A and B are shown apart, each in its own frame.
Chain A
Amino acid sequence: MDGKIIVVTSGKGGVGKTTVTASVGAALAKQGKRVAVLDMDIGLRNLDVVMGLENRIVFNVVDVIQGRCKLRQAALKDRRIDNLYLIPASQSDEKSVIKPQNMTWLCNKLRREYDFALLDCPAGIEQGFKNAIEAADEAIVVCTPEVSSVRDADRVIGLLYARSITPRLIVNRIVPQLVEKGDMLSHADVVDVLSIDLLGLVEMDDAVVVSSNTGNPLVQQKESRAGMAFNRIAMRLDGHPDLPVEDPMAGRSFWQKVGKKLGRKNRTAKR
């Protein structure tokens, strides 16, 4: 197998990297791909909690790199979705125990075993970030419609381009009501400043919090708008690159609501 290594990064913390990694990984696995999600946040692991696998961890990614176990031993199979595996981070080590050359070795192993490997990058642009992007083929930059998040994402995009990795953008946590009132940056503003390919727009959704706490995959909840957005993002990553990006703002104005009732199709966002 010749899989793809995709790093999920943002610069700023708390914008939803872990949620994106877990959800996009689950969505890709639902489409029938063999997927590994790796927690690269050594020392502050939480991808296992979001996926509801925290009580099954025996080995972690540091054990794999230091030769204490095989890759397959550290990979935890998801309870609900076939073909989805989690390789957890170590909670007791520091980020410096992994060197960039270890990542090259690990990623080559992952490419042979899986169709997709999603790396959940730690916040910041230090050693942990450098490790995570070392051997990545692609990058997903997660950004919320906040000035601070946009600035950090911009910095990260510059660093990714410097490593010849072309990033794609997910704008997360859009609150259409606030955008409508002008109290939040619109996704168009964000895309305008960052000027990279848009992979998806994800609305703020209470189901995300519930899902993170229960470990119940977001992408299996049909009524969750965020879950559906992650499903479409996974389709764009695999096989349907031209699937139009749905604009969360579409259908919010009075006349558009009227139009919808009369059977007109939703507008789609400019890509």
Chain B
Amino acid sequence: MMMGLHMSHPDPPVRLKGVGDSLWITMDASLPVEVLKKELCKPFERLRHQAVNARIILDPGEKALDEPLLEDLSTFLKNRFQVGRVSRPPAPKAPPEDASTRPDPENGWLYQTEDSLVIAGRVRSGQKVEARKHLVILGDLNPGAEAIAGGDIIILGTLLGTAAAGQPDNESAIVVAMDFRPTQIQIAGYVAAGMSSSAGKKPEFASLDNSRVVVADYTKDNPFKRLAWPEVR
């Protein structure tokens, strides 16, 4: 019933609603200027003094609002109803990316632009290396040195110092080293100290398993071997 009633009356050519601290006027810009002015008077006369100094946004809908018309209506409203600033609606936000340009989730590495840190050299006692995402050290981490990363820590050398991966709360982070003899390992909020090194001199990695830091042989128990498709860490 309501629906039918609405359909029988077409939208009024000028509609007004409050948006934030301004008045948003949706109008049919294709109508002649005189008709528009007459239609504008209707809601503004109802508002009376409430329209004084109000900020007005003139929204022509789909149609274009050319500069002389905006100027004309602006002057008319200011003189007649003492409104404040009159402007066009703000430019709409950029349209969402076209699906064809969006990265293909199966080949994500082609679009990789994340801030991982790769450094070469020896990190000495008292020195500290921090990375927002993954940290790769082409060298050794000496006792007394610290490596801190938001993601994984990969050391292509000897790990003798402290490595804190997945800071502050990435529980899937791992710490890999060619020679794994750390002073301490932290993953997310979990700490493991004094880990016994198996013989050493072989690649091992630490990961979280049921809130415990566990160390395993990287060559034997590589956690990524079973992934169906290469994915971005």
Contact = CB atoms under 8 A, between A and B. Distances in A.
Most A C-beta atoms less than 10 A away, residue of B126, B144, B145, B160:
B126
Interface of B: 122, 124-127, 140, 142-145, 160
7 contacts: A151-B142, A154-B125, A154-B143, A154-B144, A158-B125, A193-B140, A195-B140
Contacts of B160: 193
A158 B143 contact: no
Contact of A195 (B122, B126, B127, B144): B122
B143 A193 contact: yes
Interface string A123-158: 000000000000000000000000100111011011
Contacts of B142: 151, 154, 193
Given A158-B127, A193-B160, A151 B144 contact: yes
B122 A155 contact: no
A159 B125 CA distance: 10
Interface in A150-176: 150-152, 154-155, 157-159
Contacts of A151: 125, 142-144
Contacts of B127: 158
Interface of A: 147, 150-152, 154-155, 157-159, 193, 195
Which 6 residue pairs are nearest across A and B when measured between Cβ atoms? A158-B124, A154-B125, A155-B125, A155-B126, A154-B124, A151-B144
Q: Which of B127, B142, B160 has the most CB of A within 10 A?
A: B142
A49 B105 CA distance: 74
A157 B145 CA distance: 13
A155 B122 CA distance: 12
Contacts of B126: 154-155, 158-159
Contacts of B140: 193, 195
B54 to A, nearest CB: 63
A147 B143 contact: yes
Given A155-B126, A157-B124, A193-B143, 13 more contacts: A151-B125, A151-B142, A151-B143, A152-B125, A154-B124, A154-B126, A154-B143, A155-B124, A158-B125, A158-B127, A159-B126, A195-B122, A195-B140
A154 B143 CA distance: 9
Given A158-B127, A193-B160, A150 B143 contact: yes
Contacts of A193: 140, 142-143, 160
A158 B125 CA distance: 7
Contacts of A154: 124-126, 142-145
A158 B140 CA distance: 14
B121 to A, nearest CB: 10
A161 to B, nearest CB: 8
Nearest to A154: B125
B144 A155 contact: yes
B178 to A, nearest CB: 14
B80 to A, nearest CB: 74
Contacts of B144: 151, 154-155
A151 B127 CA distance: 12
B70 to A, nearest CB: 63
A155 B127 CA distance: 8
A157 B126 CA distance: 10
B181 to A, nearest CB: 11
A195 to B, nearest CB: 6
A152 B126 CA distance: 9
A226 to B, nearest CB: 27
